[in-house]
Structure 1
Amino acid sequence: MSEPAWVHHAIWWHVYPLGSTGAYPASPPPGPEEHRLRRLVGWLDHVQRLGTNGVLLGPVFASSTHGYDTVDHLRVDPRLGDSDDLDLLVAEAHDRGLRVVLDGVFHHVGSEHPWVRSGSAWLRRDRRGDLATFEGHPGLIALDHARPEVRDHVVEVMAHWLGRGVDGWRLDAAYAVPAEFWAEVLPRVRERFGEAWFLGEVIHGDQAAIARATTIDSLTQYELWKAVWSSLNDRNPHELAHALRRHDGFTDAEVPATFVGNHDVTRLASRLDDRRTLPLALAVLFTVAGTPTVYAGDEFGLTGIKEDREGGDDAVRPELPADPAELPDGADLDVLHLHRELIGVRRRHDWLHAARLEVVHVDHERITWRSHHEGRALLVTLDYGDGSRPPNWWFEE
């Protein structure tokens, strides 16, 4: 594993800037003179109080709509402000001891990108000679990752913003990019920025093999995410046990990026059939190996359902109050306190980052696993309840 040592202590607060600052969707859209990105500076104290120690930013680069249709990787989206605003956010985060990771969309560009308008040879074409797209989306035009010019460009983009102070990159749709592309690009960036961390978005597949082939430090753990809420809804601890055993195997090659919510999925509080099981989901997140992430708003128990339609992500990417002293609509302070409690457990047991795991008991109502590392161990039990008995969880050190 090549990840830098500082990641062993990382717990991310993941925020989608265009939505959280009210910059998208908005009619008319804000201009750079509004400096919307600076709103997030006000939320950094909340990030600290929560116990998280890093900010994982969604797209901040110039784009046409939702941020994943980039038109300029070297310019901050004018709806959010300018590069000075991003520099300020990074500086304020670092002053508080918080790391910052940017979201890099390097599989495709937006249909309004200058390369598309000029018919650049840097774009991939299908067998008919038409411009290839990302999963059939006409506004997302695929790059030709076999071209040295594309590889050089991605290296320089990453190096540019790392040179301005950011700490790493989330690699959007990393699963759709050839492994050899990352295997060439990332070592070149590490030669110049040895402390940079790279998180790859991977939906499924053999994570250990992908990590080895790409050299990406950490991959998103969607298998565990699905098993957590699905096993709780079905009252089936055996599903979680299977996922936990696979999760332990993934750590042979990389420490996965763990989460129970993000900008692309229905919020946990809406996904769970029984809201009382939410503490059990969080207990999994903070007691197994991984680099955990809290999606902004989940710490308040916010709800939101993702729909498969245009604008279907908006409900899970809402605007946050400009003043962090104001709670978001629907905030549940009990959920906030629970997050702080469990993040505190994780901070006190930071060895959990690379812990191994064994399921020591599972039946139709209960599961117990042991996370352990170099002589330290934490025994975790989830009781799913049976309708008459409410769900519960407890730890034994």
Structure 2
Amino acid sequence: MVGRGWWRDAVVYQVYPRSWADADGDGIGDLPGITARLDHLVALGVDALWLSPFYVSPQNDGGYDVADHRDVDPLFGDLAAFDALLTRAHDLGLRVIVDVVPNHTSSEHPWFREALAAEPGSPARARYLFRDGRGPDGAEPPNNWTSNFGGPAWSRVPDGQWYLHLFDVTQPDLDWSNPEVGDEYESVLRFWLERGVDGFRIDVAHGMVKADGLPDTTGPWDSSVDPTGSQPMWDQPGVHEIHRRWRRVVDEYDDRILCAEAWVLPDDALARYVRADELHQSFNFAYLMTPWVAADLRHTITATLAAAEAVGAPQTWVLSNHDVVRHASRFGLPQRSGRPSRVPGIGPEDPQPDAALGLRRARAATTLMLALPGSAYLYQGEELGLPEATRLPDDALQDPTWERSGHRSRGRDGCRVPMPWAGAAPSLGFGPGDHPWLPQPAEYADLAVDRQDGDETSTLELYRRLLRARRELRPGLGRLVWRDAPDDVLGLDVDLPDGGTLTVLANLGTSDYALPDGLEVLLVSDGSDAGELLPPDTAAWTRPVAR
């Protein structure tokens, strides 16, 4: 029923297991490390955590190359360690969402090994997208598709056939027209649902079905601006029947959810993923990609809220994740009005973000986001104001994008650097050793949890205040009405479930903004005691003065 469901206004915190906490000292985060640090999430005030993949994997793409969806990679622990994490989280009142990766498997998955050993046209190969090549001797790929990580999307096997991989060469795409694939993934869902997980984040939820005949792409395509366009490998109508099947499965269990990672434009196309018989949530990447420009943000918020409301779904807001430059750095770059765009990875030779400006804007952006109706997702470390690690040495990079792009794209390692827990400890408290799997920037020491805890001006304490106020006021269940404001100021009223009003003001201009009369300030993104003026790149939660 519309209006019901914990997920409609939940705040979910993404944990990237490799980088959260290392319990065994090997330099890589693990499940026991996550369990030991769950109190941090309780103190922060989130409702749930989402775990990026921890399954058996050769780790060619940070675990998104899954070789066994029903077991834990020894790098992270075992099923007993997962069960202990789940039990502890539930005891603390936290729900747990896990990843499922249905577009592709690892090339080390038993199915793909069987396919390579089988003949062309065999049932084993029919689980994947094997095709004959073009040209007299089949030496040309079956079509002109390119990989998201750079280079061609096809690789040839010794018998002459080609297989599709929209991502790394070690991630062969499955053929979802084969009923065996759908049955296998339904079984995977039930395996984790029976263990007690509270839901799934669906990786590449818009990519499982390809256009009939796998036709060539036509016309220019810039995936950094338009992630789908009219491309034959993305957002095909058949994906929706898969999601309907999955919805029927999770509806057999109490209070379980499905959330899509679907890089889909325009807004009404994305809203189709959260129709009443499909998924519960889909990340609002249009919002994530919107620059820090008042008119652009107002347009995105209005349009994406309307698209979700048209299908009776809540909107789901996000500013950072494991695939994009952290917003504390993204907003420290020049902001230009126009179409949303993704910022590629930043390297030491690239123009560097303004760290102070980026953090100031990031705090304001989060203050705005957490007041919007709907659910919100946070990425680990953003509550510390962590910037992107932009000066990682070349030999430390592990994202396959770096190699596949011919060292032209830095990839996503900069947002995946391990968490700093203690400023003076080895690996900043990430683990007992001195050498985490990615080096931590020196500035992370001053941003560590122990350095910010109790400092009322810190980003950590701002997040705690925001989440306490959000839980009390419930703006996620409210209704947004825009206020009249100058062009470079966002002003909005959120009608709250208790009948009250939360007024949010965000100054994206270059001069102070005089707060309207009759408002009591609850909190300000810069941590200050608000006066009558709201400084640039600052946001405030206010409410009408009681009369």
1:33-48 aligned within 5 A: 36-48=30-42
Alpha-carbon shift at residue 256 of structure 1 (Å): 2.7
Which residue of structure 2 lines up, in the alignment, with residue 49 of structure 1?
43
Identify which of 478, 492, 501 aligns with 1:369: 492
SS of corresponding position for 2:197: coil
Alpha-carbon shift at residue 95 of structure 1 (Å): 0.6
* Larger helix percent: 1
Alpha-carbon shift at residue 323 of structure 1 (Å): 7.7
Confirm whether residue 79 of structure 1 aligns to residue 79 of structure 2.
no
Which residue of structure 2 lines up, in the alignment, with residue 138 of structure 1?
169
Alpha-carbon shift at residue 380 of structure 1 (Å): 1.0
Q: Distance in 1 between matches of 2:296 and 2:22?
A: 39
Confirm whether residue 102 of structure 1 aligns to residue 98 of structure 2.
yes
Q: Distance in 2 between matches of 1:29 and 1:391?
A: 37
Alpha-carbon shift at residue 4 of structure 1 (Å): 6.4
Name the CA shift for 1:4/1:159 in 2 (closer, same or farther; >3 Å).
Answer: farther
Out of 333-342 and 13-22, give the one that drifted further: 13-22
Amino acid corresponding to residue 165 of structure 2 in structure 1: T
Checking the alignment, whether the CA contact within 8 Å between 2:9 and 2:373 is kept in structure 1 is no
Confirm whether residue 280 of structure 1 aligns to residue 373 of structure 2.
no
Q: Distance in 1 between matches of 2:294 and 2:377?
A: 23
Amino acid corresponding to residue 128 of structure 2 in structure 1: L
Confirm whether residue 67 of structure 1 aligns to residue 127 of structure 2.
no
Alpha-carbon shift at residue 154 of structure 1 (Å): 0.9
Which residue of structure 2 lines up, in the alignment, with residue 265 of structure 1?
324
Confirm whether residue 165 of structure 1 aligns to residue 196 of structure 2.
yes
Q: Distance in 1 between matches of 2:286 and 2:479?
A: 17
Identify which of 225, 232, 237 aligns with 2:294: 237
Alpha-carbon shift at residue 284 of structure 1 (Å): 1.7
Which residue of structure 1 lines up, in the alignment, with residue 411 of structure 2?
312
Which residue of structure 1 lines up, in the alignment, with residue 17 of structure 2?
17
Confirm whether residue 390 of structure 1 aligns to residue 536 of structure 2.
yes
Out of 331-340 and 356-365, give the one that drifted further: 356-365
Which residue of structure 1 lines up, in the alignment, with residue 471 of structure 2?
347
Name the CA shift for 1:322/1:79 in 2 (closer, same or farther; >3 Å).
Answer: farther
Name the CA shift for 1:134/1:2 in 2 (closer, same or farther; >3 Å).
Answer: farther
SS of corresponding position for 1:357: strand
SS of corresponding position for 1:47: helix
Which residue of structure 2 lines up, in the alignment, with residue 216 of structure 1?
279
Alignment TM-score, normalising by the size of structure 1: 0.88
Alpha-carbon shift at residue 358 of structure 1 (Å): 2.8
- The alignment yields a C-alpha RMSD, in angstroms, of 2.8
Q: Distance in 2 between matches of 1:171 and 1:101?
A: 10
Name the CA shift for 1:395/1:13 in 2 (closer, same or farther; >3 Å).
Answer: same
Identify which of 358, 381, 386 aligns with 1:297: 381
Checking the alignment, whether the CA contact within 8 Å between 2:473 and 2:496 is kept in structure 1 is no
Alpha-carbon shift at residue 202 of structure 1 (Å): 1.4
Checking the alignment, whether the CA contact within 8 Å between 1:17 and 1:37 is kept in structure 2 is yes
Checking the alignment, whether the CA contact within 8 Å between 1:286 and 1:345 is kept in structure 2 is no
Residues 101-127 of structure 1, C-alpha deviations (whole Å, 9 max, x = no match): 001111110111111111122112357
Alpha-carbon shift at residue 357 of structure 1 (Å): 2.1
Amino acid corresponding to residue 541 of structure 2 in structure 1: F
Identify which of 253, 256, 270 aligns with 1:196: 256
Q: Distance in 2 between matches of 1:320 and 1:391?
A: 26
Q: Distance in 1 between matches of 2:201 and 2:491?
A: 32
Amino acid corresponding to residue 386 of structure 2 in structure 1: L
Q: Distance in 2 between matches of 1:214 and 1:67?
A: 30
Q: Distance in 1 between matches of 2:83 and 2:182?
A: 25
SS of corresponding position for 2:162: coil
SS of corresponding position for 1:358: strand
Larger radius of gyration: 2
Q: Which has the higher contact order (CA 8 A, sep 6+)?
A: 1
Amino acid corresponding to residue 303 of structure 1 in structure 2: P
Checking the alignment, whether the CA contact within 8 Å between 2:45 and 2:468 is kept in structure 1 is yes
Query: Taking every aligned residue pair, what percent have the same amino acid on both sides?
Result: 27
Amino acid corresponding to residue 414 of structure 2 in structure 1: A
Which residue of structure 2 lines up, in the alignment, with residue 255 of structure 1?
314
Out of 317-326 and 11-20, give the one that drifted further: 317-326
Residues 305-355 of structure 1, C-alpha deviations (whole Å, 9 max, x = no match): 5895247322211223588996663416201011111111211122x2243
Which residue of structure 1 lines up, in the alignment, with residue 343 of structure 2?
none
Checking the alignment, whether the CA contact within 8 Å between 1:105 and 1:171 is kept in structure 2 is yes
Name the CA shift for 1:214/1:141 in 2 (closer, same or farther; >3 Å).
Answer: farther
Alpha-carbon shift at residue 72 of structure 1 (Å): 0.4
Alpha-carbon shift at residue 261 of structure 1 (Å): 1.1
Checking the alignment, whether the CA contact within 8 Å between 1:362 and 1:368 is kept in structure 2 is yes
Name the CA shift for 1:305/1:239 in 2 (closer, same or farther; >3 Å).
Answer: farther
Amino acid corresponding to residue 178 of structure 2 in structure 1: R
Name the CA shift for 1:377/1:182 in 2 (closer, same or farther; >3 Å).
Answer: farther
Residues 334-387 of structure 1, C-alpha deviations (whole Å, 9 max, x = no match): 01011111111211122x224332322343321111222554432211112416
Name the CA shift for 1:321/1:237 in 2 (closer, same or farther; >3 Å).
Answer: closer
Which residue of structure 1 lines up, in the alignment, with residue 128 of structure 2?
123
